[in-house]
Structure 1
Amino acid sequence: MSADPVAGDPDGIQRIARRHEDRSDAVRDGARHVLVAAEHAASGWAGRAQQQFLVAAAAMPASAHRVAARLDAASAALATYARQVREIQDDAASLQTTRRNTADDIAANDRAIRDATAVASGPDAVESDRALLQQLQHSGEWLAGLDARLSAQWDELVARRAAADRAAAAALEDRSVLGKLVSAAVVSAMSDGQFLTWLATLDPESIAALGGDSRVVKRLAGIDAAQVAGWWQAMSGVDGAPSAAQRAFVAAMPAVIGNLNGVASWARARANTTVLADRLAHARRQVRHWRELHDAARNPADAAAAREQLLVWERQRDAYRNIQDTLATTPVSLVALVDDRPPLAQIVAGDLDRAMHVSVIVPGMNTATYQDGTVQDYSAIARGMRREEARVAGIRRSDIAVVSWIGYHPPMADDPSFRTVLADDRARAGAERLVADLDGFHAARAAAGRDADLTVMGHSYGTTVATIALTKTHADHVVLLGSAGVTDAVPNASALHVPEGQVFATQGAKDGWAVTGQNLSGRRDPTESTWDAHEFSSETEGRGSDTLHGVTRHGPYDGDDDDGRYSYFDDGTTAQHNAARAAMGHGDEIPERGGPFDRMRQQTKDDWLMYGWQTGGTGDPTL
């Protein structure tokens, strides 16, 4: 906007006003069509999808009315502004003509005065010459006064235009148009608490408008989980039911909400479903792009550069596809999806918002979402552990949730990071992520007023991650399976923020890789008596149909046990059974055995030369 009285295009402003009016009519028509569709849906089909549609349709009229009213308000403000600009421009055009004519008159009068002065000053001057000069001088004074009055009138037009500009700006920034949205400067001056309070006052339409504001999105993503949890819970409906505002945040900012600690898991899962589809499509486009560049490369350097990017994006595509396939084929949800290289994910079996017992499984080395079978296996691991926990505790499965936390980058066997299994850097980085997620879980549950019994289960290198994390956050139980070793930062079980007697550890006698990781890294074996965990056996127990199978390999999951090979999280193993008992508060019933000496006796019994144990030949390189 400009204070220049003749600036602007009132016809163009009026066209914008009419477009807003047309859009308002379209919104109201759309709402009517939705209501008609809802009437047909009420009798046309049944099921959960129908109910969700009817709920959304029921909210449509009020939402549409708010949007249409804002469009109407904007249209009215623009129409008023267009009329005022046109009136000011008309007055300015008339005044400009008068000022030009006055300026011409002043110039002509000045010339006449100069001529009359010369005549009146001459030797032949008469009285009439002096009278004419005086008359011209009086005319000059009158014209100067007129010019001053015209200048004042122009200043008044400038003031009128400035006032019209301010009024239009105020009208377009009014809540009748913008709702409760405020300027970026106001937002940046808010504290985190004020920022969240402001967000909580917004209606769904205003929230939708914020989705494209990167500053707001970035600000929300960086807020402490405890504050986020309080904000999210305050927007909830009765007994934590999803509200219209919460659904609007999920739709407007899915990439943030999907990973925002403190937000309810139902919302994160819904957001991540949307984000997953978008990222898979993007990865597929990138694969096509880099393959085309690779095929069109004119020299080895360009081909190598394109090939490097192609491999990156093929892994991204495979990861997102694995996650999507898992969600499509198994009853699990996705409560975190980090767009990293490769992507990180958290797969949940059960209702993480309401379950009374929650277990978080931390994987070990050689775990990545792009690998064939990994995400699917960890879905099976979570579901199998949930079934076993419900069985050993004699409670409903709905009271239990199990998270497969593929939330960090462990050492990988297929790249140079393999050697980092002997170091602790990746474990410390993973522990930081795990602490943040566990604290977020605690914050969300505290805000909702729903306590939960939390167990952390680590496998292999995941035990290194879990034990470091539990020196900084807390859990009710921890189970360490086939540990690659515990760092010096955790000298014994009492260093963990876990109740006394609730730290459990096991290692299979035929697991050659766990002891290899411990010995080469110099980390502690948590089944040693001096570390003071409750060690338990992972060997075969029972007979016939009551047999619990012993661990025969180091990997987390074998699934198909036709070949007699069993891993720690396989169904029907002693390791899974005892881990479930520990998680459900029955750990004191687990016999304390399976320490280093017990394993050595078992090893010599099974293989008196201990060839497999010494070489790790009975296991696989999955630390």
Structure 2
Amino acid sequence: MNWTLEDPSEGDADGAYRMAYALAERRDAAGTALYQFDFIISATLWAWQGDGGDAWRARIESLKQELRGAYNTADALHAAYNRYAGEFSEIRDSARSWRFRHRSAIAELEQLDRAAAAFIGPPGPELTGLWDRRRADYEDDRDLARRFLDELGQRRLAAETRLVNEVCAATPARWTNARAAAITIGITDPAQMTPQGFANWAELAGTDAVLDSLNGMSPAQVAALWALLPRTVVDSLIAKHPESIGNLEGVAYTDRSLANVSRLDGLLAGAEDEYEQLVAHAAQGPGALFARALGEALAKRDALRVLAKRYADGSAAAADPPEFLISLDTTGPGEPLAAVSVGNLDTSLNATFLVPGMNSGVNELKDHIRSVRRIQGDIANSAVVLWFGYNSPKLLKDGHSPVTEVLDDDKAQAGGRQLRDALNGFDARNTASGKNARFNLLAHSYGTTASAYALAGGVRGIDSVTFLGSAGIPKSIRLKDFHLPEHSVFVTEADADHLADIGRGLEYDWTKPWPNGNLGDGFVPRRDNPELKSWGAEVFGSDGTVLPDGTVLDAVDGHNLIGGSEAGDANKYIGPNTESLANVLNILSDRLELLTPGSRPSE
């Protein structure tokens, strides 16, 4: 609130009355449209019969239900704002009267004090008595006015609380976060917590101030506020601060993509220039350090070429299915971090984040996007995110050391934090939109290790988690640490996948005695295999099977998620016609009764 309990007369009801009037107009417009829909349906009952007419009328009925919801919301909000405006006006008028009386009593007391101080000589008993009686009257008047002002302050506070609750009840999906966002930017009057109020603030504050406010909000608050910003402000933010908007959780994914795509040509030109300068000075390069810098510059240039070729002209967003570049981070050396959505995350009713493992990145986009499109194309109204948002490990450190990075958890921990933020960002938008899309996480190899850190770090709203050929779950993380419903975590590892076992690594368990003096018997995996019964996940098959209807599903023949071509995708975890892919699609679509069983390894 932008008033104090001591003075509830501050402000006016104009904003609330204007909002009530606007809502009444919206309600009446919806009512008129409802009447017209009823007339159209009645008029076509005799003129257009058969399946076509019935289907068309069913569609109109569906639109009517949406319109009825809008009518009811506008009507409830109109009543709430109108009631609040009337109650506030009464409170304000009464408070102004009591405030005048309170101030008058205080002024009389001050005048009496001045008169007593200016009196020359001792006052007589009659004058002293007169002063005392007047003082008592003024103090009584002051205290009475103060008591009524306090009561009116509480009434106004109660009226505002009631308005907030009524608006929350009418628009439950977004109001809580919108109100929190409003308070963050300094809008404290409930009458101004309206789309127009937010729009006015954004226009007056300016682009830089709006961005500063957005950066200080939670993803849920950003999502609530973003939906209320005028398009002119959104376009200005994208144009002026694309690097921030393109990666800000809570911003609409289509707008994030616009911001990221707008940067590609400039980023590529810079990367080309950086690489050419390094090549030009190759003769003066200081050995291994220079070679590493050159390799990183080449990786960045090549990755930006891949992204620019696919997205820079903006046509991918209009393709079928559309593709969106929903995050882009070029601040580090080497390949940029990025995420691509196949399908529109803002409107889809089924969303999946795919986290690849070792040796994955933007330079492998062409192959990975093929598998993502395969998944997205089999699930109606869906979006699948290819998440290259972390530095995945390489098989050999620096390309030559025999020590594999997969055995370290450093990149999984860092990637887990980044993935957690991305997943919670989607949950915030999913909640703010009110569409409650099914929310899935799918990970492969080292991506399952990073995902475990993300889930244990606190991810909200996940409906299913699927691990393929896991490189192992850190021993410090148990299934219960994911805080997910029972039977919502699924795993598989093909019999032919021998790299997953290697990826889990070995370490010596010094708590065990050396059996029969054999040192090798004391080695145990460094990470847990989530397929083990003791770990607690659901296991499904990936070694090939025949369905009850005679359909033959192929086995996975190794560790790879995908191949290097459409033909090379055969017998991979997300290859066409594999048992693994069929089960993945059933999990993502919540058809769990269709899962084919898998076998667990011995403990």
Q: Which residue of 1 aligns with 2:482?
A: 496
Equivalent AA in structure 2 for residue 477 of structure 1: S
Q: C-alpha displacement at 1:588, in angstroms?
A: 3.4
Under a length normalisation based on structure 2, what TM-score does the superposition of the two structures give?
Answer: 0.58
Verify the 8 A CA contact 2:542 2:598 in the aligned structure 1: no
Q: Which residue of 1 aligns with 2:302?
A: 318
Matches within 5 A, 1:210-289: 210=207, 220-221=214-215, 223-235=217-229, 243-289=231-277
Deviations 1:558-617 (A, max 9, x none): 1546579521112221111101101111123313323225xx9xxxxxxxxxxxxxxxxx
Q: Does 1:548 align with 2:542?
A: no
Q: C-alpha displacement at 1:293, in angstroms?
A: 2.9
Q: C-alpha displacement at 1:497, in angstroms?
A: 2.6
Q: Which residue of 2 aligns with 1:578?
A: 583
Distance of 2:413 and 2:452 partners within structure 1: 10
Verify the 8 A CA contact 2:541 2:598 in the aligned structure 1: yes
Under a length normalisation based on structure 1, what TM-score does the superposition of the two structures give?
Answer: 0.56
Q: Which residue of 2 aligns with 1:457?
A: 442
Larger Rg, first or second structure (1 or 2): 1
Instruction: Indicate which of 451, 457, 474 corresponds to 1:466.
Output: 451
Q: Which residue of 2 aligns with 1:92?
A: none
Tell me, what secondary structure is at the counterpart of 1:364? coil
Tell me, what secondary structure is at the counterpart of 1:456? strand
Matches within 5 A, 1:414-433: 414-416=396-398, 419-433=404-418
Q: Which residue of 2 aligns with 1:594?
A: 599
Tell me, what secondary structure is at the counterpart of 1:596? coil
Q: Does 1:534 align with 2:538?
A: yes
Distance of 2:255 and 2:232 partners within structure 1: 12
Deviates more, 1:556-565 or 1:190-199: 190-199
Instruction: Indicate which of 339, 348, 351 corresponds to 1:355.
Output: 348
Identity, % of aligned pairs?
29
Instruction: Indicate which of 323, 327, 340 corresponds to 1:336.
Output: 327
Verify the 8 A CA contact 1:364 1:459 in the aligned structure 2: yes
Deviations 1:332-389 (A, max 9, x none): 21100011322111111101001111011011111122x3xx111221121111123x
Q: Does 1:386 align with 2:376?
A: yes
Matches within 5 A, 1:78-93: none
Tell me, what secondary structure is at the counterpart of 1:528? coil
Q: Which residue of 2 aligns with 1:523?
A: 527
Q: Which residues of structure 2 form unaligned runs of 5+?
A: 1-181, 507-524
Distance of 2:581 and 2:599 partners within structure 1: 14
Distance of 2:211 and 2:489 partners within structure 1: 40
Distance of 1:311 and 1:561 partners within structure 2: 29
Tell me, what secondary structure is at the counterpart of 2:553? coil
Going from structure 1 to structure 2, the CA distance change for 1:205 and 1:498 (only over 3 Å counts) comes to: same
Q: C-alpha displacement at 1:433, in angstroms?
A: 0.6
Q: Which residue of 2 aligns with 1:482?
A: 469
Distance of 2:298 and 2:249 partners within structure 1: 29
Instruction: Indicate which of 168, 190, 193 corresponds to 2:185.
Output: 193
Going from structure 1 to structure 2, the CA distance change for 1:233 and 1:218 (only over 3 Å counts) comes to: closer
Going from structure 1 to structure 2, the CA distance change for 1:221 and 1:318 (only over 3 Å counts) comes to: farther
Equivalent AA in structure 2 for residue 570 of structure 1: G
Matches within 5 A, 1:288-307: 288-294=276-282, 297=284, 301=286, 307=291
Tell me, what secondary structure is at the counterpart of 2:543? coil
Distance of 1:468 and 1:305 partners within structure 2: 32
Verify the 8 A CA contact 1:280 1:320 in the aligned structure 2: yes
Distance of 1:505 and 1:313 partners within structure 2: 37
Q: Which residue of 1 aligns with 2:393?
A: 411
Q: Which residue of 2 aligns with 1:134?
A: none
Distance of 1:480 and 1:383 partners within structure 2: 19
Verify the 8 A CA contact 2:223 2:251 in the aligned structure 1: yes
Q: Which residue of 2 aligns with 1:566?
A: 571
Q: Does 1:506 align with 2:492?
A: yes
Q: Which residue of 2 aligns with 1:72?
A: none
Going from structure 1 to structure 2, the CA distance change for 1:235 and 1:461 (only over 3 Å counts) comes to: same
Equivalent AA in structure 1 for residue 491 of structure 2: A
Equivalent AA in structure 1 for residue 365 of structure 2: V
Distance of 2:568 and 2:415 partners within structure 1: 34
Equivalent AA in structure 2 for residue 194 of structure 1: G
Equivalent AA in structure 1 for residue 452 of structure 2: T
Matches within 5 A, 1:50-129: none
Q: How many residues align?
A: 382
Deviations 1:414-446 (A, max 9, x none): 534963311222111111111111111111222
Tell me, what secondary structure is at the counterpart of 1:585? coil
Verify the 8 A CA contact 1:326 1:379 in the aligned structure 2: no
Q: C-alpha displacement at 1:289, in angstroms?
A: 2.2
Deviations 1:153-191 (A, max 9, x none): xxxxxxxxxxxxxxxxxxxxxxxxxxxxxxxxxxxxx98
Q: C-alpha displacement at 1:447, in angstroms?
A: 2.0
Tell me, what secondary structure is at the counterpart of 1:405? strand
Q: Does 1:447 align with 2:432?
A: yes
Distance of 1:559 and 1:586 partners within structure 2: 30
Tell me, what secondary structure is at the counterpart of 2:554? coil
Q: Which residue of 1 aligns with 2:123?
A: none
Instruction: Indicate which of 370, 382, 404 corresponds to 1:400.
Output: 382
Matches within 5 A, 1:594-613: 594-596=599-601
Verify the 8 A CA contact 1:365 1:461 in the aligned structure 2: yes
Verify the 8 A CA contact 2:367 2:565 in the aligned structure 1: no
Going from structure 1 to structure 2, the CA distance change for 1:348 and 1:470 (only over 3 Å counts) comes to: same
Distance of 1:323 and 1:570 partners within structure 2: 24
Going from structure 1 to structure 2, the CA distance change for 1:565 and 1:383 (only over 3 Å counts) comes to: closer
Going from structure 1 to structure 2, the CA distance change for 1:248 and 1:195 (only over 3 Å counts) comes to: farther
Q: C-alpha displacement at 1:200, in angstroms?
A: 4.9
Verify the 8 A CA contact 2:489 2:538 in the aligned structure 1: yes
Equivalent AA in structure 2 for residue 379 of structure 1: I
Distance of 1:323 and 1:575 partners within structure 2: 29
Tell me, what secondary structure is at the counterpart of 1:403? strand
Going from structure 1 to structure 2, the CA distance change for 1:407 and 1:562 (only over 3 Å counts) comes to: closer
Q: C-alpha displacement at 1:304, in angstroms?
A: 6.7
After superposition, the CA RMSD in angstroms is: 3.1
Q: C-alpha displacement at 1:307, in angstroms?
A: 4.8
Deviates more, 1:512-521 or 1:378-387: 512-521
Matches within 5 A, 1:356-371: 356-369=349-362, 371=363
Going from structure 1 to structure 2, the CA distance change for 1:350 and 1:576 (only over 3 Å counts) comes to: same
Matches within 5 A, 1:148-163: none
Distance of 1:585 and 1:313 partners within structure 2: 43
Going from structure 1 to structure 2, the CA distance change for 1:195 and 1:344 (only over 3 Å counts) comes to: farther
Q: Which residue of 1 aligns with 2:60?
A: none
